[in-house]
Amino acid sequence: MTKNTCKWILFGFIFLFLGPFLGITPSSATPQREDFPNPEGGSELTERVRYPVSNYILQERYPEIMVLSGDRTKNQIALTFDDGPDPRFTPDVLDVLKEYDVQATFFVTGARAEEYPDLLQRINEEGHIIGNHTYGHPNLVEKADLDVLESEVKRTEDIIAGFVGYRTKLFRAPYGFLYNELVETLGELNYSVVGWTVDSLDWQESEPEVISYNVLSNVHPGAIILMHDGAEWEGDRTNTIKSLHRIIPTLKDQGLEFVTVPELVDIAYQQ
């Protein structure tokens, strides 16, 4: 049993026995394991060790559909967050971004957006851009089914539109895993596929100093930085949140401006 699992079990007991006296119900205080949408394809920790077709190769093949970075002559970069909205970590990520006046791009799963619409709306209301990260976070390469892709994308698109009022044009694949036919189908669905050039590797749950180093030692003008505001039930993004307090001011001091992905790569974010 992990430290994070023990933490949520302890919180569960506290809210179960003290909640009625404090006027707090379990549903409003913390997610319940049985209702929490876990990624269908497995955790980042187990899946990201696989190596499907390189996104760099796919970007060369489909430059009009797939983007990995912006103009390297401009001092702009984009923070992106995957796998939310997650009530355990997304609020704190949003608080940090607000503290430093930074707008980011959030690639959300439909299942979690549906479960936590208030968080989805907060992301939108605070000026961040929302992208499509499928409904249930399956491994699309392993599924190898174009109908599954289309269903996952359209279902999530409808959910996002229902809560924030626009149909996103941005897509990121779970784990970043795609192959030719998947990219072609996404193009037919009028999506821009967003990859990254800087991976924080925060899914490894390293110390904040390590996550910060992974970003700061690899960043460049035009970089799209991959981070996560969501995790599976046993996962923890606390160190991601802590690392932002080092990453954001350091990069600002270096003269880099944080912008959203659509601004960085000059593409539309609405259908």
Residues assigned a catalytic role = 82, 228
CB within 8 Å of 134: residues ≥ 6 apart: 109, 110, 140, 149, 152, 153, 156, 173, 174
Cα gap 125→166, rounded to integer Å: 13
